[in-house]
Amino acid sequence: MARRGKKKGRPVSGWVVLDKPVGLGSTEAVSKVKWLFQAEKAGHAGTLDPLASGMLPIALGEATKTVPYVQDGAKIYRFTVAWGEERSTDDLEGPVTKTSKKRPSQEDVQALLPQYTGVILQIPPQFSAIKIAGERAYDMAREGAVVDIPPREVEIGRLDIISHEADKTLFEIECGKGTYVRSLARDMGRDLGCYGHIANLRRTEVYPFTADDLVTLAELEAAIPPPPEEGEERAPGVRFAAIDQLVVETLAALESLPQVPVGDDAAHRIRLGNPVVIRGRDAPVEADEACITARGQLVAIGAIEQGMFKPKRVFTN
């Protein structure tokens, strides 16, 4: 029988709410954060384009089990649409494909916004991570193919104009999972008859995280002390003491779920995969999903049926 390899890295768990800089890809950002923390595993909750900046929640360790709950959370972006040009990538990266001398007034743009709020159909950009017949759309587009991407339903809670100039408009949007802001710029430009593309894009929030949770790569790097000098002795854990203080607890990702505290005995049974009866005046009798805590720490996510909690995902730390 083959032996299982020993896990590499530290068993650190929680969320790093990274303020991703322009030019860094999401996968590259995850790798960088994983290396800084020497974490066993890491993953992100929602891709952010290299030319975009802002909030990229990165899960470490056991927090990777909560990624779907953050991916489903509402997101807020601030973005600038430059009018007069459409580009192959719908942002500054691609070449210009269409041009127009027409420029919209603020009133023209404002009148269009109701068409882009609520549940709408949206076609993702040609250069996107959408899979078509098993291939990424951006791989096919880079080979010169015109990708037939079917429209998808997305939900936009609000879309506001922050400022307007002759050649560009600054917007703020609150939207649901799967919304492509680049597609909005493309489609609004076509509807206005002047074409448009994203000139600047920043994600400011991903529910339940806020701007107060943001941390930069520079702050993470500064929290790692330099290597010890020859002969210098350091207590175990000193290297990661400061950087670990920048981690947001795993439980923070589950703000949308009912949270039920239990005692140590019940927590132990749940961690072994056993159902337990939930007690307490405020404990829900029925819940499709709820999370169990003990001593303020996340124990499990599961369903509550007739006052019985049945674990689906169990957390060890």
CATH number for the domain spanning 126: value is: 3.30.2350.10
Instruction: Answer yes or no: is pLDDT of 3 > 60.
Output: no
Q: Which of 47, 63, 43, 67 is nearest to 55 (CA)?
A: 47
The last residue of a domain, from among 253, 270, 291: 253
The pLDDT tens digits for 20-67 are 999 999 999 999 999 999 999 999 998 898 899 999 999 999 999 999
Residue in 19, 49, 90, 213 annotated catalytic: 49
Tell how far CA 255 is from the center of its chain: 15
Q: Is there a single domain that holds both residue 193 and residue 82?
A: yes
Q: Is there a single domain that holds both residue 98 and residue 186?
A: yes
How big is the CA angle at 184 (ends 131 and 117), to the nearest 5 degrees? 110
Q: Is there a single domain that holds both residue 90 and residue 158?
A: yes
CA dist 162 and 127 (Å) reads 27
Q: Is there a single domain that holds both residue 81 and residue 186?
A: yes
Greatest mean pLDDT among 12-21, 41-50, 283-292, 308-317: 12-21
pLDDT value for 143: 60
Q: Is there a single domain that holds both residue 119 and residue 225?
A: no
Q: Which of 225, 135, 126 is nearest to 183 (CA)?
A: 126
Identify whether 49 is a catalytic site residue: yes
Omega of the bond leading into 208 within 30 degrees of 0 (cis): yes
pLDDT value for 1: 46
Instruction: Answer yes or no: is pLDDT of 314 > 80.
Output: yes
Domain holding 297, by residue range, is: 257-314
Sequence-ordered alpha helix ranges (H) in 174-272? 181-192, 217-222, 238-244, 264-271
Q: Is there a single domain that holds both residue 264 and residue 186?
A: no
User: For residue 96, what are the contacts with CB-CB under 8 A and spacing of at least 6?
Assistant: 85, 86, 87
Between the alpha carbon of residue 259 and those of residues 268, 306, 308, 312, the distances in Å are 17, 16, 14, 15
The per-residue pLDDT of the chain, averaged, comes to 90
pLDDT value for 9: 84
Does the residue 214 lie in any domain? yes
Q: Is there a single domain that holds both residue 284 and residue 232?
A: no
Q: Is there a single domain that holds both residue 128 and residue 34?
A: no
Q: Is there a single domain that holds both residue 193 and residue 85?
A: yes
The total number of residues written for the chain in this structure: 317
Tell how far CA 92 is from the center of its chain: 22
CA dist 312 and 272 (Å) reads 11
Does the residue 32 lie in any domain? yes
Instruction: Answer yes or no: is pLDDT of 235 > 70.
Output: no
Mean pLDDT of 74-85: 98
| Whether pTM exceeds 0.85 | yes
Does the residue 3 lie in any domain? no
Decide if 180 contacts 128 (C-beta within 8 A). Answer: yes
Q: How many other C-beta atoms are found inside a 10 Å radius of the C-beta of residue 68?
A: 13
Q: Is there a single domain that holds both residue 234 and residue 247?
A: yes
Number of folded domains that form the chain: 3
Instruction: Answer yes or no: is pLDDT of 90 > 70.
Output: yes
- Locate tokens 């068993």: which residue? 11
Domain harbouring 277, CATH code: 2.30.130.10
Q: Is there a single domain that holds both residue 81 and residue 119?
A: yes
Give the pLDDT band (50/70/90) at residue 132: low
Does the residue 4 lie in any domain? no
Q: Is there a single domain that holds both residue 248 and residue 270?
A: no
Does the residue 1 lie in any domain? no
Sequence-ordered alpha helix ranges (H) in 11-118? 26-37, 67-71, 106-112
CA dist 62 and 59 (Å) reads 8
Mean pLDDT of 223-250: 81
Instruction: Answer yes or no: is pLDDT of 5 > 60.
Output: no
CA dist 45 and 154 (Å) reads 17
pLDDT value for 226: 80
Does the residue 2 lie in any domain? no
